A and B are shown apart, each in its own frame.
Chain A
Amino acid sequence: MAPEPPLLSMSGITKSFPGVRALDGVDLDVQAGEVHCLLGQNGAGKSTLIKVLAGAHQPDTGTIRWRGEEVTLRSPIAAMRLGIATIYQELDLVEHLSVAENVHLGHEPTAAGFVVRGKAARSSTAQLLERLGHPEIDPARLVGDLSAAHQQIVSMARALSHDVRLIVMDEPSAALDPDEVDNLFRIVGDLTSAGVAVVYISHRLEEIRRIGDRVTVLKDGRAVAGGLPAKTTPTRDVVAMMTGRNVEYVFPERPTTDATAGKPLLEVRGLARHGEFEPLDLSVRPGEIVGLAGLVGSGRSEILETIYGARKPSAGHVLVDGRALRPGSVRAAVRAGLGLAPEERKAQALLMLESVTRNVSVSSMSRFSRGGWIDRAAELGAARAATRELSLRPDNPSVPVRTLSGGNQQKAVLARWLLRGCRVLLLDEPTRGVDVGARAELYAVVRRLADEGLAVLLVSSEVPEVLGLADRVLVLREGRVVHTAPARELDEHRVLDLVMEGSPAS
C-alpha cells in the first residue's frame, strides 16, 4: 500500500445512545480508490459509524483524520465540504420536490446569490443521471412519483453533485434488481478508477466478493477485524466473525408430505389492475409457500397489496377458504386472516414515534383488550415473545422503534404478524436489510408457520431466496405470469432468463 497516509482514518470512535453503546472504540482506515466494505449483524453499529463520518452524529470520543490531518465534522455540511458524500440506508429525499431540486438541495445553482437557476440545475442533473446510466429519469419529475430503484439513483446523483473523494453507501442494493445492481457496480468501478474511495455496506456477502477490496467487520459496536482482503477471506470466517458462531446459510427442509393435496386456503381469480398487472390466478394451500419472482416494477408488490385489499382491483376477486372477500377492503382481508408485511417498512408499516411493543401489537389489539380496554402486561409479554422469536435487538420491546437499526425494524414488522397469528401471510421483501444470521432464523420461522398450516405468499428480489424457501414459484414479467413451476425444478439462471426475457433494459 502507498506510504502516504490513508484518505480517511477513524480511530477509537465511541458513540452511546441512552442505554446503548452503539460504537465502542472503532477503527476504520480507507484508502483512496478502494472499495471498503463494512459488515456486521443488524445493530452492530454500521449505520452509526457512517453517520459519524457524515457529520450527522457527533462521536463521544475518538479522532478522525482526513488525508493525515485531524478534523472535526460538526455537521453534514462540514463533511460534504471535505468531499464526503453519503447515501443513507433510509432514503432521505424530499418527495414533493423534483429530481433536480433534490439533487441540488442545499447547494442550488443561483444567480445573484439567491435566485435559483432551475434550468441550470436541471441540465446538470440530466448530466449526472446520464453518467449514472439512467438518462430516462426526467429531472423535472417529482421524486415521490419515482420507483424505489430510481429514487436510489437520485440519491446517488445527489452524492455525486458534490466534488466527492469518499462516498458512503449504506445498503444501496437492498431495493435493487439484479441488473440495477450491475449498474451500481459499474458506477462504483468508474468512481474508484477515478481515485474516489467507496465505503460499502451490504448484508449480501456475494456482492462484497464482487466489488470489495477490503472488509472491516463490526460486532456489537467493535471492529473485530479491520482491512481483511475482501476476495480471499472465506465466507465461513467472515460470518463467524460477524455472528460469533457458525451459521449455516441454508434453507429449511421442505416437508415430505405433498401440500398440493389439500384444498386451497387462498385463491385469487382473475385479479387485475389496469396498468399494473394482468388477470392473475393463483392458489396457495395450507402449509404451502408460493414465491413470486420478478423484477422491481413487474407488479409483485401491487399484486400483494391488491390481494390484501389495500388497492382496489379492476377485476377479479380473492377467496379465503372458498369465501370471497370484499374487494378493496383491508379490514375484510385482516378479518379473514390475511397479514401483509409491506415492502416499505418506514412508510407503510412502522409507527416511528412508538415503542416496539405498540408497533407489534397494533394489529392484534383485540387480543389484549376487553371492551376496548387494553391489558398492557399481556400486550408486553406477547410482544416480547414475538420479538424474541426473531431475536430482535435490543431485547427490550419498550424502546422506541425509531432507535432500532434497519434490519431490526424489519423484524418488528414481521413480529406484528407473528403475533397476529394470521392464516395467510403475504411477505413483501421480508429479508430486506436483515443480516445473514437472522435470515436463517427468519426462514426457519416462515417454514415453521407454513408447517403449522399457514399459506404463505412470498415476494423477493433475491432469486435464491425465492427458490430456497418457496415450494412453488410464479415468475412475473411486466405484470404477467410467464411461468409457474415447483421451486426444485428451477434454478437461478432459468428464473433470471425468464424474468428479463424481452424486457427493455431499464
Chain B
Amino acid sequence: MTQHASPPRDSTGKVPSAGAAPGWRGLMARADVRTLSLLGVLAALIVIGGITKPDEFLDTRNLQLVLTQGSVIGVVTVGMTFVIISGGIDLSVGAIVALASVWATTVATQEYGFAGILFTAVIVGVGCGLVNGVLIAYGAMVPFIATLAMLASARGLALQITDGKTQIVTVPSVLDLGERDAYVLGIPPLVMVFAVVTIIGWLVLNRTTFGRRSVAVGGNAEAARLAGIDVRRQRLYLYLLSGLCCGIAAFMLVILSGSGQNTNGNLYELDAIAAAIIGGTLLSGGRGTITGSVLGVLIFTTITNIFALNNLQSDVQQIAKGAIIVAAVLVQRRTASTT
C-alpha cells in the first residue's frame, strides 16, 4: 500500500520473459492457471479411474488403448485449434476423415499397398481442405456454412463409395502397425504420430510466422490486413492444414480398425471443437494453445474410458461431457476477467 509512484514494474509471471529459467521450474513458471487446472482435472480423472476400476483402468493395455483412441481425434484437434484460433471453424472434419478413410481403402487403392493408402488418405484430406479454404478465403463464404456443406457432401460421397459396406484392409504392412509387435517401448505407433503432430503443431503456432499470422488473423482480421498480412492466403492455408490433419487421422483410423467405413469419424467435429474450447481456445479467435487442446482431448478420452469400464451408458457420458464444457468455459471467463 505504501508503494510510491514508481514506474510500473514487470507484469505477472504469466507473461514469458526473455530469460525464463530453463527446465522444469521455468516450465512451471510459464504454465498458466488454465494449463495447471487442466492437468489437475486429468490427474483427478486418473485417480477416479484408479479407484473405481483399479485393475482394469491402470492396466497397461487399457492405457495404451486410451492413448490410441485419443490420438486419432487428437490429430484432428490440432488442426481444428489452428482454424479456431484464426477465427474460423471446421465442421467437416469428421466427414473428411470418413471420406479419406474409405477412399484410401477401396480395392483399387489397396493395390498400391501402404504408400497408396497413406498417399490417398492425405491427398483426399488436403483436397477437401482446399475446397473449404478456397470457398472461405476467396469465395467469401462463412466458414460455418462452407464446412457444413463439405460435411454433407463428403459423407454422402463416402457412402456412395462404400455403398454402406465395410472395406476390409488386406495390406499386411498397414495392419501390422496396429499390432502389439509394432509398439516401441510399449508405445503404440499411432500415439507417436500424435506426439509428433502435437510437437510440430506447437512449434508452428508458437515459433513461426505462420502461427503468428494465424493468431493475428483471428484476433483482428482488418488490423492484420493493414499490417501487410495476406489474410486470404492465410485462411486458405489454415483449412488446408485442417484437411491435412484429417487425412493423417483417417490413415490412423484405417490402421486402428483395419478397415474403412463411411461412418468413420462420426461427430469428430464436436469432440475436436469441445476439446479445443476446454483447452482455452477462444471460439471468437485470437487466442488458444496446442497444449490446452491436447489436454482437452486426453480428458475426454479418459472420461469415455472410465465410463465404459464402469458400464455406464453413453447418454450419461454425453451429459458429463456437456457439463465439463460448461465448467471449462466458466473457468475461462473467470481467468479472463481477472487479468
- Spell out A's residues near B (CB within 8 Å): 14, 18-21, 24, 43, 61, 219-222, 308, 310, 330-331, 333-335, 340, 342, 347-355, 358, 362-363, 365-366, 369, 372-374, 376-377, 380, 393-396, 398-400, 403, 416
Contact of B8 among A19, A330, A354, A376 (CB under 8 A): A19
Q: How far is the CA of A362 from the CA of B218 in the complex (A)?
A: 13
Q: A310-B225, A353-B219, A380-B18 are in contact. Are A362 and B212 (CB under 8 A)?
A: yes
Shortest A385–chain B CB gap in Å is 13
Within 8 A of A (CB), among B1-41: 1, 3-12, 15-18
Cβ-closest 7 pairs across A and B = A334-B228, A220-B5, A394-B8, A20-B8, A19-B11, A351-B219, A398-B15
Q: Once bound together, how far apart are the Cα atoms of A334 and B231, in whole Å? A: 14
**Least CB distance, A63 to chain B, in whole angstroms:** 15
Residues of B participating in the A interface, judged by any CB pair closer than 8 Å = 1, 3-12, 15-18, 207-210, 212-213, 215-216, 219-220, 222-230, 282, 286-287, 339
Contacts of B215 in A (CB 8 A): 351, 354, 358
Report Cα–Cα, A43/B7, bound state, in Å. Answer: 10
Q: Judging by beta carbons under 8 Å apart, are B230 and A372 in contact?
A: no
Tell me, in angstroms, the Cα distance from A222 to B3 when the chains sit together. 12
B339 cross-chain contacts in A, Cβ below 8 A: 18, 400
> What is the chain A residue whose CB lies nearest that of B3?
A21
* A363 pairs with B8, CB closer than 8 A: no
The answer to whether A19 and B226 touch across the interface, beta carbons within 8 angstroms, is no
Pair B228/A330 contact, Cβ less than 8 Å: yes
Given A342-B226, A349-B227, A362-B224, do A19 and B12 touch, yes or no (CB 8 Å)?
Answer: yes
Residues on B with C-beta less than 8 A from A222 are 5
**How would you classify the secondary structure of chain A's contact residues: helix, strand, loop or mixed?**
mixed
6 contacts between A and B (CB under 8 A): A14-B1, A19-B9, A350-B220, A351-B223, A366-B209, A396-B9
Name the residue in B208, B220, B282, B287 with the highest tally of chain A Cβ atoms < 10 Å from its Cβ. B220
- Asked if A353 contacts B11 (CB within 8 A), the reply is no
The minimal Cβ–Cβ distance linking A426 to chain B, given in whole angstroms, is 11
Closest to B18 in A: A380
In the complex where A331-B230, A365-B212, A369-B209 touch, is A21 in contact with B220 (Cβ < 8 A)? no
Given A355-B15, A393-B7, answer yes or no on A308-B207 (Cβ-Cβ < 8 Å): no
B-side contacts of A18, CB under 8 Å = 11-12, 339
Cα distance A220–B209 in the bound complex, in angstroms: 37
Q: State whether A372 touches B11 (Cβ < 8 A).
A: no
Assembly CA distance A350 to B219 (angstroms)? 9
Question: A330 to B226, Cβ gap below 8 A?
Answer: yes
For residue A342, which residues in chain B have a CB less than 8 angstroms away from its CB?
226
Give min CB distance, B236 to chain A, whole Å: 15
Distance between Cα atoms of A2 and B219 in the complex (Å): 52
Contacts of B8 in A (CB 8 A): 19-21, 43, 393-394, 396
Q: Which residues of B contact A363 (CB under 8 A)?
A: 227-228
Asked whether, in the complex, the Cβ of A373 is within 8 Å of the Cβ of B208, the reply is yes
Contacts of B12 in A (CB 8 A): 18-19
In the complex where A19-B12, A355-B15 touch, is A24 in contact with B3 (Cβ < 8 A)? yes
Q: Is the CB of A396 within 8 A of B5?
A: no
The complex places the Cα of A307 from the Cα of B276 at a distance, in Å, of 40
Q: Which residues of A contact B219 (CB under 8 A)?
A: 351-354
Contact A362 B16 (CB under 8 A): no
In the complex, what residues of B have CB within 8 A of residue A43's CB?
8
Q: Using Cβ atoms and an 8 Å threshold, which residues of chain B touch A358?
A: 212, 215-216
A350-B223 contact, Cβ under 8 Å, with A355-B15, A374-B207, A395-B7: yes
Give CA–CA (A348, B16) in the complex, Å. Answer: 26
A362 touches B3 (CB 8 A): no
Bound complex: CA A333 to CA B225 (Å) = 12
- Interface contact A373-B227, CB-CB below 8 Å: no
Complex CA–CA separation, A144 to B147 (angstroms): 29
User: When chains A and B are docked, how far (Å) is the Cα of A379 from the Cα of B101?
Assistant: 43
CA of A377 to CA of B224, assembled, Å: 23
Question: Closest CB of chain B to A46's CB: distance in Å?
Answer: 15
Contact present for B226 and A310 (CB under 8 Å):
yes
Say whether A219 contacts B5, CB under 8 Å: yes
- Residues of chain A with a CB closer than 8 A to B207's CB: 373-374, 376
CB distance from A302 to the nearest CB of B (A): 14
Q: Are B227 and A416 in contact (CB under 8 A)?
A: yes
Shortest distance from the beta carbon of A401 to any chain B beta carbon, whole Å: 10
Please report the C-alpha to C-alpha distance between residue A354 and residue B288 in the assembled complex, in whole angstroms: 11
A20→B10 CA distance, assembly (Å)? 8
Q: What is the CA–CA distance of A248 and B282 in the complex, to the nearest angstrom?
A: 46
A352 close to B220 (CB less than 8 A):
yes
A351 touches B220 (CB 8 A): yes
Question: Is B223 touching A399 in the complex (CB atoms < 8 A)?
Answer: no
- Chain A residues with Cβ below 8 Å from B282 are 353
In the bound assembly, the distance between CA atoms of A19 and B286 in angstroms comes to 24
Does the CB pair B15–A399 fall under 8 Å?
yes
Contacts of A399 in B (CB 8 A): 11, 15
How near does chain B come to A396, taking the closest CB pair, in angstroms?
5
Residues of B within 8 Å of A395, CB to CB, are: 7
Q: For the complex, what is the distance from the CA of A408 to the CA of B337, rounded to whole Å? A: 22
Complex Cα–Cα for A347 and B224 (A): 10
**Interface-centre pick from A20, A352, A362, A373 (highest chain B CB count, 10 A):** A362
Taking the closest CB of chain A, its distance from the CB of B282, in whole angstroms, is 8
Contact of A398 among B7, B17, B216 (CB under 8 A): B17
Nearest CB in chain B to that of A371: its residue: B208
A351 touches B209 (CB 8 A): no
B208 touches A372 (CB 8 A): yes
Q: Which residues of chain B have C-beta atoms less than 8 A from A334's C-beta?
A: 228
Residues in B with CB closer than 8 Å to A369 are 208-209
Contacts of A372 in B (CB 8 A): 208-210
